[in-house]
Structure 1
Amino acid sequence: MNEIPREVEVAVRAAASATGGYAGKLDNVYRRARRNRRRRLAATSAGVATVVALAGVALALRSVEKREPALPPATGLPSPSAEVPAQRLMLDGANGVYESGPGLTVDLSGTTRVGELVPGDEILPHWVDGADGWDRFVGLDDGRIVALGAHDLMPGTPRSDGVDVEGLQINLVVTAADGAVQLKRDVRRKGEAVSMLTADSTAAYLWRPAGLVEHDLGSGRERVLVPHKALGGGIRAADLVGNRLVLVRDSAPCTPVLFDTILGQQIDQFPLPTLSCAWVGAVRLSPDGERVALTYGKSDRAQGERVTGIRFSDRAILVDQWIASRGGKVDQPLVSFAWQDATTLRGAVVPVGPGTSKITPFLITTS
């Protein structure tokens, strides 16, 4: 491949590592990098913006041919009587200066600060060091943050890009609540793409060419939970809680698909024909694994960005609510959201661009 311009070199390299199951066609990664860099309006920090935008997407895999008729129970989750902590609302993709209370601003445009929207709708910055920008970061219940990002060991050196590029680390970093680095591990394998889906107290869950992989934070050992062949198709969005994995494929952009990671296979799917959905942007499983929330858009741009929720047990559509307009600088707004309990969803519409921006929070009850 010909040399690419230095100003997008890091962006493309990082995007390649962040595209879930990177198919080996850098042209596709390069196109995604340019598109998402425009969306983030961050010309001087394109690498960071692109990495964040592309976490866990575009896995090029074969289609699944059979489906389990029954829905196995969710496992690896708190008991029904246990008090489940609220999911932390991390502002994945936020890149700029934001208002945070009267007269206060928080700068999230660098490479060592990430943001969290805490109850009361204030932005809490966290220091996470160890990469040139973060593909993905996840806040754990115990206050730690798990993040994955690319680190250029040869800054300023033009190189031909791709998964074999020289001088690049993909660092998995765990920080304590005070920002102290507890773990920094290069998880790159030359010739392979890697990105992070999510993490819990013991493991990070990575997309590799082999499929969805559990990476033990203590030992670094890995095992495949869902193999490459079973995942089937390019992946737009995904989430994992306990043994339940939900994803949306490029080939069916409005059909959430449910997997059981113990079985390592698809067990159900939930088309959204009644919503006039054109694409799903993000998904988030509830803490008990019984519901999934999705951001989506309709073909009619006037309908804006919306949130819907599905209950797995009876396939009920629990809510369909407008949250943001589409158009202008960002056609598909950046939306972060998290479950506060089994039925309540808290989220934020996050502007990305020059100047000081204001995050718009929202609260949705799914009944």
Structure 2
Amino acid sequence: MDQMPDEAQTAVRTVARATTGYEGTIEDVYRRHRRRSRRHAVVSGLSAVVVLLGIGVAVRQIAEPRRVSGPAAAPATSIAPPAQRLLLPMVTGTYLVPDDTTVELDGNAVAELTPTGHLVKHAFVGREKWRSVVGLPSGGLVAAGRTELTVVGADGTTVVRRKTGGGDLIGADDENAYLWRQGVLREHRLADGGQRDLVSYPEPAAVDLAGDRLALVDRVNPCQTRVLSLADGRTVGGSALPLDGCTRITAVRLSPDGLKLAVAYETRGSRRLLVEQVATGMPLVSPYRTGTNEDRSVLAWQDDATVTAVDVPEGQENQQLRPLTIRVRS
């Protein structure tokens, strides 16, 4: 069975004798191969030139390191202003920030962490020390002291300063400030000081406002969120269940479109960040660990899908700020 039949052997010999062998030496083979390789290299080189011409600017930006003359140098590429500005709480200490500079905070200024990693200080304006501050997308600030409301323009000039009767500032836009006082959310018109009551609710443990929605955490259920409509006060969303492992929620921040809610909360030994879908209360991302329970969490949305969290330690030297930015899919 291992031998080829006689008829097959005869056919193979006939074909072999009729086949013309390769007329040349092995050197001829190598010579032809080198010619083909050169032609391929020329074509590939021309293609590479065309591609590099198309992306030359981007290649140069990556290949050449950016040279700066000092810590105040502007970044090489412009970044769109965030939808929400990230202002740190009134803390004291020395902080190392992502742009590799060290900034000292003495409690007499408000610090803002920019998307480029810079820490910018805004000095207090007015007779009272600010207790809460909101950054406007236009570049100005709205700040509340114990009894006074102050509006500072993007150029640092004082635009408004008036008595309000007190209250915690939880939000602001170019037309109104929103103050929480004695269980009532009040809208305060910046133009003339007119006020109206929006929602009555027991003092919350955490609260935020965006558009016509109010997110809060009550003290009875410290691990569940609730979102209310400012139009009629009804509940329009919130946590479907208490957050797993949560001991208390410390901060909430609604996305600019009001469809997502960033939640900072404590577990036993660590602080975490979660994003919920407002309508269903279901998580859109797995929890991220951000810091320890001794820190204070600050949240801000760069746009409707990108949120940044930073945990701020207080009262210690050379503390590092490590912002965490995540992109959320709807």
Question: Is TM-score (shorter-chain normalized) higher than 0.5?
Answer: yes
Pairwise CA distance, 1:276:
2.4
Pairwise CA distance, 1:297:
1.3
Q: 1:314 and 1:354 mapped to 2: Cα distance?
A: 40
Whether 1:289 and 2:262 are equivalent positions in the alignment is: no
Pairwise CA distance, 1:124:
1.2
Counterpart in the other structure of 1:171:
148
Pairwise CA distance, 1:104:
3.5
* Residue in structure 2 matching 1:205, options 166, 178, 181: 178
* Residue in structure 2 matching 1:323, options 285, 290, 315: 290
Whether 1:339 and 2:312 are equivalent positions in the alignment is: no
Q: TM-score, normalised by structure 1?
A: 0.63
Q: 1:85 and 1:102 mapped to 2: Cα distance?
A: 18
Q: TM-score, normalised by structure 2?
A: 0.70
Q: Which amino acid aligns with 1:125?
A: K
Whether 1:89 and 2:86 are equivalent positions in the alignment is: yes
Q: 1:337 and 1:253 mapped to 2: Cα distance?
A: 18
1:280 and 1:358, CA in 2 relative to 1: closer, same or farther beyond 3 A?
A: same
Pairwise CA distance, 1:225:
0.7
In the alignment, structure 1 segments of 5+ residues that lack a partner are: 1-82, 151-169
The alignment-based identity, stated in percent, is 34
SS at match of 2:303: coil
- RMSD, aligned CA: 2.1
1:306 and 1:103, CA in 2 relative to 1: closer, same or farther beyond 3 A?
A: closer
Q: Does the 8 A contact of 2:99 with 2:116 survive in 1? A: no
After superposition, what is the alpha-carbon deviation per residue over 1:253-285, rounded to whole angstroms, capped at 9, x for unaligned?
Answer: 011111111113434442433522221000000
SS at match of 2:85: coil
Q: Which amino acid aligns with 1:148?
A: A
Q: Does the 8 A contact of 1:88 with 1:338 survive in 2? A: yes
Counterpart in the other structure of 1:363:
325
Pairwise CA distance, 1:311:
0.7
Q: 1:84 and 1:142 mapped to 2: Cα distance?
A: 9
Q: Which amino acid aligns with 1:343?
A: A
Q: 1:132 and 1:295 mapped to 2: Cα distance?
A: 30
Q: Which amino acid aligns with 1:90?
A: L
SS at match of 2:247: strand
Q: Which amino acid aligns with 1:88?
A: R
Counterpart in the other structure of 1:219:
192
Counterpart in the other structure of 1:270:
239
Q: Which amino acid aligns with 1:342?
A: D
Whether 1:115 and 2:111 are equivalent positions in the alignment is: yes
1:104 and 1:220, CA in 2 relative to 1: closer, same or farther beyond 3 A?
A: same
Counterpart in the other structure of 1:74:
none
1:267 and 1:100, CA in 2 relative to 1: closer, same or farther beyond 3 A?
A: closer
Q: Does the 8 A contact of 1:84 with 1:341 survive in 2? A: no
Counterpart in the other structure of 2:225:
256
1:84 and 1:361, CA in 2 relative to 1: closer, same or farther beyond 3 A?
A: closer
Counterpart in the other structure of 2:4:
none
In the alignment, structure 2 segments of 5+ residues that lack a partner are: 1-79
Counterparts of residues 14-93 of structure 1 (less than 5 Å): 85-93=82-90
Counterpart in the other structure of 2:47:
none
SS at match of 1:120: coil
Counterpart in the other structure of 1:183:
160
1:183 and 1:279, CA in 2 relative to 1: closer, same or farther beyond 3 A?
A: same
SS at match of 2:283: strand
SS at match of 2:122: strand
Q: Which has the higher contact order (CA 8 A, sep 6+)?
A: 1
Counterpart in the other structure of 2:16:
none
